Amino acid sequence: MITFIVRRLLGAVLMLLVVSMVTFAVFFLVPRIAGQTTDQLAAQYVGRNPSAAQIHATEIKLGLDKPIYEQYGRFLKGIVAGADYNDGPDVSHCPAPCFGYSFKNQEPVWPQMLGALPVTGSLALGAAIIWLVTGVGIGVLSALRRGTVFDRAAMSVALAGVSLPIFFTALLSLAIFRDTIPLFPDAATWIPFSTDPGRWAEALVLPWVTLAFLYAALYARLTRAGMLDTMNEDFIRTARAKGLTERQVVVKHGLRATLTPIVTIFGLDLGLLIGGAVLTETAFSLPGLGQFAVNAIINQDLPEILGVTLLAGFFVVAANLIVDVLYAVIDPRVRF
Amino acid sequence: MSRKADEWGGTDGFVDVRPRPGEPEYYDSAPKPSSSFLELRDLRVHFPTDDGLVKSADGLSFTLERGRTLGIVGESGSGKSVTSLAIMGLHKATNAKITGEIWLDGEDLVAASADRVRQLRGKKMAMIFQDPLSAMHPYYTVGTQIIEAYRIHNKVTKAVARRHAIEMLDRVGIPQPASRVDDYPHQFSGGMRQRAMIAMALSCDPELLIADEPTTALDVTVQAQILDLIRDLQQEFNSAVIIITHDLGVVAELADNIMVMYAGRTAEYGPTDDIFRRPQHPYTWGLLGSMPRLDRERADRLLPIMGTPPSLINVPSGCAFHPRCTYQKLTSGRSIDEVPELRSVDGEHRVACHLTAEQRLTAWETDIKPKL
């Protein structure tokens, strides 16, 4: 078990390294191959109408004149140990993990991302709880009542949930529950949990439900299909033959087997979302990682794009790792 | 039984083996309880499908006493498993229409409530399934599954149930039961898994044990061990055993009586000795003729039964076996028009065939016996 986790951990680190290399290459190597000079690269960091001296100073400061592998080493070192930028007269220190400074406001990237993380985290975790409970619950009931009015209605709603885009349901819910009926007047604002937990939750209800609707629909369909499969398994017949009540058969034997693959998908979905729920955050004006990424791309803010890509990559890799380890725990047939 | 449990196991769930209002009644007056331990009276299990009514079991009757073994033999789709699942009450009420009577120790299981049948399952009657790998839950240890089976019907602590589980594993011949009890089914070999399955089925000392093809998924060398085990345990517990198989060799070893099924009906029923020495039905001859023998030289090649098993939706008219029967012409058309009744040949030995006793004797002595 320990060796398995260590092996997986090393694999995850390697994976992140590859992700960082590819992203770094996209932003620093490809422009050079495409024929950009280091001066042109450095010019992006300086501002409008810079002087040749400013550009040159920046080039030295960021090490753009150095060979690419040295730059990459510097970039990695910045993330792990922090970096010092030689500004000529004084040296500015960027503490680890250092993703550099934003083009737009000259702020270090990492604290900005750190500030956005609780927003995305609140959104993703809250929605995840809602969609897991409702999705799995509806899926199980649908499977057990297959072909009934409940099943048909639930699956129709689920189809709608999967098909409707977030920006549509988000705006619809805002129009109805904030503007027409002012049930959630704070929706589409961000109130930190530490400020007021009650208003934090109230402001997040609509984003949670909107995001959860999409995933709950997906999970209901997955659970229903899995449950229908499982309930036809031989071991379910065995469970009944033992004299278990139908409820025990469904919960202890049916659900246990159905949930295993669901847990896997759940972990991956959650990892992906924490890296930025782009559409939901944009629709509800939540200053999370998704919105941060969108703004970074719009502003062509290289250090920010690089940082948010790596962070999102980190969450996906971490989710994969956790799911792998968890899977070995819940499915005894998986051995290391 | 709480109201909630009814919601889970209610009408859309499963096992309500009672006939519904408006269904044909086969008995006008209240049926008489059976004096036998197990008695089936005119059991019919029908499945309405979009293509038509599938008559998987169509009028089965037999009795079985404690300590005795009945072998049910037939091709795939002849209704063997359907019959055993009906006894266990394991058909979904939404799928299956069950009529007739199943008397188990003075109780009619067809008329009994779903919950009553559930209480009997595992305790009074238990079942061993064909493929022990898929029949055991992959995520629970063997011990957990035996403990669960025991604790449904016995109000004991987990520790007591665990000791019982280890004891049961020991009894079915699993080495180091105290450590293997914590293994998962996939960590067992095929034969060991079937032993564990048997331990699970026997954990509440059932009086009726149904083994549905218990050796089909196993190596030949292991088959004999499992059959021996079933026989030993039967003697120990004095339980009634039904063995379902398509392998006549299996029942030859174990069964006191054999029922040969064809297309949901009984073709022939009788003591094992009679079935092997004086078989009466052309289908039984076919089964015997297609059985490889190692103990002596064969005069000829194996004699396969021509044709394919019938569709249970469009069961052939008259005797369901007539399209495949070599002797069909001898009955001057009765096979095609008239369903043969199950008639006694000699005491308990009964056959459903239109051929006269002389015709059967001649055919057996001249055509079949010399070639076996």
What is the ipTM score, two decimals? 0.83
Q: A244 CB near a chain B CB, below 8 Å?
A: yes
Within-domain flag for B215: no
Domain boundaries, chain A: 17-94, 109-330
A146–chain B nearest CA distance, Å: 9
Write the CA distances from A187 to A161, A184, A202, A283, integer angstroms.
21, 6, 7, 11
Encode pLDDT of A245-278 as tens digits: 999 999 999 999 998 889 889 999 999 898 878 8
Q: A228 CB near a chain B CB, below 8 Å?
A: no
Q: A229 CB near a chain B CB, below 8 Å?
A: no
Task: List the single residue in B8, B12, B121 with the smallest CB-CB distance to A243.
Answer: B121
Encode pLDDT of B313-361 as tens digits: 888 988 999 999 988 888 888 889 889 999 998 889 999 999 999 899 9
DSSP state of B330: G
CATH class of A109-330: mainly alpha
Within-domain flag for B314: yes
| The pLDDT value given to residue B46 | 94
Q: A256 CB near a chain B CB, below 8 Å?
A: yes
pTM of this structure: 0.80
Chain B residues close to A246, C-beta within 8 Å: 5, 8-9, 13-14
Encode pLDDT of A42-62 as tens digits: 777 776 777 788 788 777 777
How many domains, chain B? 2
B353-360, long-range: CB < 8 A, 24+ apart: B353/B267, B353/B268, B353/B280, B353/B281, B353/B282, B353/B319, B354/B319, B355/B282, B355/B327, B355/B330, B355/B331, B359/B327, B359/B330, B360/B280
How many CB atoms within 10 Å of residue B45? 24
Q: Residue B212: phi, psi to the nearest 5?
A: -95, 105
Indicate the pLDDT class of residue A37, thresholds 50, 70 and 90.
confident
CB contact under 8 A, B137 and A330: no
Task: Give the domain extent around B365.
Answer: 285-371
Which residue does chain A place closest to B115, by CA atoms?
A245
Residue with tokens 């043969």: B340
Q: Is the dihedral of CA A116, A121, A126, A128 positive or negative?
A: positive
For residues B358 and A290, give the distance between their C-alpha atoms in angstroms, rounded to a whole number.
90
Within-domain flag for B258: no
For residues B283 and A103, give the distance between their C-alpha atoms in angstroms, rounded to a whole number.
89
Residues of chain B with pLDDT under 70: 1-31, 294-300
Within-domain flag for B336: yes
Six-digit token string for B38: 């197990």
Encode pLDDT of A162-213 as tens digits: 899 988 999 999 889 888 888 888 877 888 888 888 889 888 999 999 999 9
CB contact under 8 A, A243 and B9: no
B138–chain A nearest CA distance, Å: 7
Within-domain flag for B199: no
